[in-house]
Structure 1
């Protein structure tokens, strides 16, 4: 495929790089292309060594925030421009039923641990805890670690990165981490050889460096990449990927502070460059702070902001600052893909790195609509259990069709807990013994396009400020069932015919509610899910003549005409009537 750098270099006078449209980039001007496999060579992808892996996560990117419609059922954004991600979605595999948690910390902990939040070795449900209100009728459970680290996974639990390390991988982390008590834990306890910028912070309060350093919400290791933009840097890393931006606007970046999105990309590519010659595969986690709030004009890169301020909005909501942050992520991905396409692979002779690298792109939760994100036609936003809060774009790409089935759309319901067993499968790694991993191996879906049948669960035993109340959900096929603990209410939606969750059909399908509710109760029991408790001062909750199933205090119980009384301080149960 023509290199975006090559096309950008010949576009004049404005810098107008084109979208990459094939599977192989040409080399950039002045650089030799990777040697082709000799004619008649016995080399083929099936004999390639274990693959490299690059995992890219955006922060708060909504389901409908990408330009492509392939990741979101045809609901691509008509204001944001993401040409390279659109191209990867066209060339690779997309999953239009991909889910996360309603906020970033629980998603990131589930990724690392391969476990639902209900497990004691995860126990992270939201940012900052779920017991942050004193007026609610229920009291949320304490979350986090016993040492008081609310958003930190246990250091003694094996993460997927440690499993990859044990299998001989080099592992590097660039960007937001959030679920460690300190930046040092990332490399000391969570399986990464190196880390730049990550720590316990939920977001970067300022996106640009100042005087060659980022502020204290970004770990100082990233300062190595925080120097002001030079002419050489702009020519090499900004101009080739610019579309709809004048040469003058791009050159105006010279001498201005580095944007954290670019610095994280610099760190990731530098790590890949240093790792490729170690005669072992690499795993690189590139975790962007953008487009998380604060979303404001001064946070965006000036060339991209000017582009969107001059653009006429169409039907979808338009936020120039937000769109600029999103396109900055697209350019980051473009740089990584270019590097993989242009760099010979020492472990896979005659091939570029891309031919033996698995690339995954996704987001950590639904979009924050009051910051410029767009989730429609889904209902809800970040911090809610409805699909707008938890459904995310998910793209898988490789230059090797044995790693990823090209041009495929997969409707399998997937989740971040699936990453652990999936990466272990690609890496040929042994899963830790006596660890109850909750995810499934997605490799058959990634590489063969198989539709996998599984149920997906979420549980919130407390409150998210400005968002969800205590509830549990199950997504099973086309159906999504919600249970709300404050009033023992079920809601049921047919996502195939009602993707916006506007028509609650629970009363029309009582048998289906009982069937899915039984699965949900069994899952709560299987994972020993903690429940919110009735707040002191609240009147007891009494359920007379109850026949059905309950879950509380770590066990399932069946009732026939019983009276159930919940006193203040006791768990408010999951209650499923069977008649």
Structure 2
């Protein structure tokens, strides 16, 4: 919409409908001094049901298990999205978020850590491709990496003060993007190459010895002032984020805060501010710790919302809440495995809904109607064009092709990018966990239908998500024509982005595209 306004030679050529949409946003984004502040609050490994906010058609026992009052408040002030999707593991999501690209295109399809080293688990049948294991970069000189114009760099170039707080996990060790400041952030708080913390405990120096020397690659950098103190990592990051926001306000620029918490990633350790409450409720040790971590995350959200109000800037600050993949359920959890995201099937690492469907809320004061809900689907790469449109940044020409579509029309309740749109996931890799839907797959969501293609034995699963949210009934045998149609769409898309495929170890042949399989 914005691009049309500036490209057309005369505003007279614009229709009344276009003018109405542009006018609705003009008071927010037309002038640089009125650009909104933006907080992108991304939680690690948070499941669709790890909250007291129901994202389904009904409230469930899991919604009563967790206590997230600040998420409830945010939902009351903004729009809740019930079908927001990410990737099944963290690095692909974060690269899609920062690049606007689908994982099949950017090829950072598994989690990253060491330079030039694949994190793929061993498989007896499949040989995995040389994916972009070094992550997202801003130059084409790094091997096995994707060269991009990152979102924070675009924001910075257009007048934003940019802050990174928490988990980065953009690029492998010793690559430039291991430091978020090389991706356009003015300030980096505790972000580095690793995708999880050694410990959340300040009393354990966040993984350092008494001389502040890292004990492992998982040690959290830059928080030495909190070493030896009884302060949880989530609280320390929030405190530092607010100090960084003070710096942003002092330079009289709009700010972009990427508040990317390490929690609820393993290790599952108690946030002592909330742990005893859940233990007293009868939860087992692991689940009491997990629930305390969830509430600690929610407390951070509330602290930031309070900060905005205290500074008098809440009316000009957008808050986007999202998770990077489904909640962990394959291991390290208490109780029965693979049910921690119910009614969704499975969890982190899975192609099923439990691995990719996320809690998402957007508050945009004066633009998004409070207490609203959107049931249209979207995917993580949509955040790139959406945030740029929210910021009023137009005519951007990034290095990379953008797969994402702005969800601003959904926020305005004036349209939907879900109409006649298919979503795609591609994982030609092997994660370390085991369980339902966890494996080497490609997936398409087309309206109510979802098709999963398994590379190991070339079989399909077909689900009607509207009727079977738990993906318990594989309809592939009953609807071969739908399988054929979706397999063709999936194959066409994967070829169009030059997606990678695994090969068969026995014969060395690359596994067929989904539409090459005989049904």
Moved more, 172-181 or 567-576: 567-576
Q: Shift of the alpha carbon at 1:571?
A: 4.3
In the superposition, the TM-score normalised over structure 2's length comes to 0.82
Aligned to 1:14: none
- Which residue, out of 513, 517, 524, partners 2:483? 513
Q: Is the 8 A contact 2:197 2:206 kept in 1?
A: no
1:474 Cα deviation after fit: 0.5
Higher Rg: 1
Shift of the 72–332 alpha-carbon distance from structure 1 to 2, 3 Å rule, reads farther
Contact 1:52 1:358 in 2 (8 A): yes
The structure 1 residue matched to 2:164, chosen from 161, 170, 173, is 173
Match in the other structure for 1:531: 501
In 1, the alpha carbon distance for the partners of 2:172 and 2:29 equals 42
Aligned residues: 458
- Aligned match of 1:439: 404
SS of alignment partner, residue 340 of structure 1: helix
CA distance in 2, matches of 1:340, 1:177: 24
After superposition, residues 314-463 of structure 1 pair within 5 angstroms as 319-343=287-311, 352-369=312-329, 370=331, 371-372=333-334, 374-398=340-364, 400-402=365-367, 404-429=368-393, 430-433=395-398, 435-448=400-413, 450-453=415-418, 454-463=421-430
User: SS state of the match for residue 264, structure 1?
Assistant: helix
1:510 deviates by 2.2
Secondary structure (helix, strand or coil) at the match of 1:303 reads coil
Using the TM superposition, give the Cα deviation of residue 477 of structure 1 relative to its aligned residue in structure 2, in angstroms: 1.5
State how far apart, in whole Å, the 2-side matches of 1:221 and 1:577 are. 51
Other-structure match for 1:153? 136
Q: Name the SS of the counterpart of 1:463 in structure 2.
A: coil
SS in 1 for 2:351: coil
- Cα displacement (A) at 1:179: 1.8
**1:131: Cα distance to partner?**
6.8
* 1:488-531 CA-partner distances (Å, limit 9, x unpaired): 21111011110000111122222222222221111101111011
Unaligned runs of 5+ in 2: 1-25, 140-147, 209-213
Q: In structure 2, the residue corresponding to 1:270 is in which secondary structure?
A: helix
- Mapped to 2, the partners of 1:525 and 1:187 lie a distance apart of 32
Pair 1:61-2:46 in alignment: yes
Superposition pairs of residues 90-489 of structure 1, within 5 angstroms: 90-119=76-105, 121-127=106-112, 132-144=120-132, 150-156=133-139, 157-182=148-173, 185=177, 186-210=179-203, 215=208, 216=214, 217-224=218-225, 226=226, 256-295=229-268, 299-312=269-282, 319-343=287-311, 352-369=312-329, 370=331, 371-372=333-334, 374-398=340-364, 400-402=365-367, 404-429=368-393, 430-433=395-398, 435-448=400-413, 450-453=415-418, 454-467=421-434, 468-489=438-459
Q: Is the 8 A contact 1:261 1:290 kept in 2?
A: yes
Shift of 1:358: 0.8
**What's the offset of the Cα at 1:49?**
0.8
Distance 1:131 1:281, change over 3 A: closer
* Mapped partners of 1:175, 1:84: distance in 2: 19
CA distance in 2, matches of 1:72, 1:143: 39
Q: CA–CA distance in 1 between the matches of 2:243 and 2:74?
A: 22
**Structure 1 residues 277 and 333 mapped into 2: Cα distance closer, same or farther (>3 Å)?**
same
String of CA shifts for 1:209-251, please: whole Å, max 9, x gaps. 2376653334432334x266xxxxxxxxxxxxxxxxxxxxxxx
CA contact (8 A) 1:405 1:449 kept: no
Q: Which of 19, 23, 34 lines up with 1:49 in the alignment?
A: 34
Q: Give yes or no for contact 2:321–2:361 (8 Å, CA) kept in 1.
A: yes
What's the secondary structure of 2:387's corresponding residue? helix
When residues 341 and 471 of structure 1 are mapped into structure 2, their CA distance, relative to the original with a 3 A threshold, is same
Tell me, in whole angstroms, the C-alpha distance in 1 between the residues paired with 2:107 and 2:501: 15
Q: Within 2, Cα distance between the matches of 1:205 and 1:86?
A: 30
Q: Is the 8 A contact 2:86 2:379 kept in 1?
A: yes
Question: CA separation in 2, counterparts of 1:294 and 1:368?
Answer: 11
- What SS class does the counterpart of residue 188 from structure 2 fall into? strand
1:62·1:368 contact (CA, 8 Å) conserved in 2? yes
Cα pair 1:170 1:283 within 8 Å, conserved: yes
TM normalised by structure 1 equals 0.74
**SS at the partner of 1:431?**
coil
Question: Superposition RMSD on alpha carbons, in Å?
Answer: 2.6
Give the conservation status (yes or no) of the 8 Å contact 2:51–2:63: yes
CA 483–124 in structure 1, closer or farther in 2 if over 3 Å, else same: closer
Structure with greater helix percent: 2
Once residues 457 and 327 of structure 2 are traced to their aligned partners in structure 1, the CA distance between those partners, rounded to angstroms, is 28
Structure 1 residues 448, 279: CA separation in 2 closer, same or farther (over 3 Å shift)?
Answer: farther
Q: Is there any run of 5+ residues in structure 1 with no aligned partner, and where? A: 1-42, 145-149, 229-255, 344-351, 539-566
What does the per-residue CA deviation read over 1:340-383, in whole Å, with 9 as the maximum and x for residues that have no partner?
1121xxxxxxxx21111110111111111242582101111111
- Please tell me whether the aligned partners of residues 109 and 429 of structure 2 are also in contact (alpha carbons under 8 angstroms): no
C-alpha distance in 1 between matches for 2:488 and 2:510:
22
Look up the SS of the partner of 1:171 in the other structure: strand
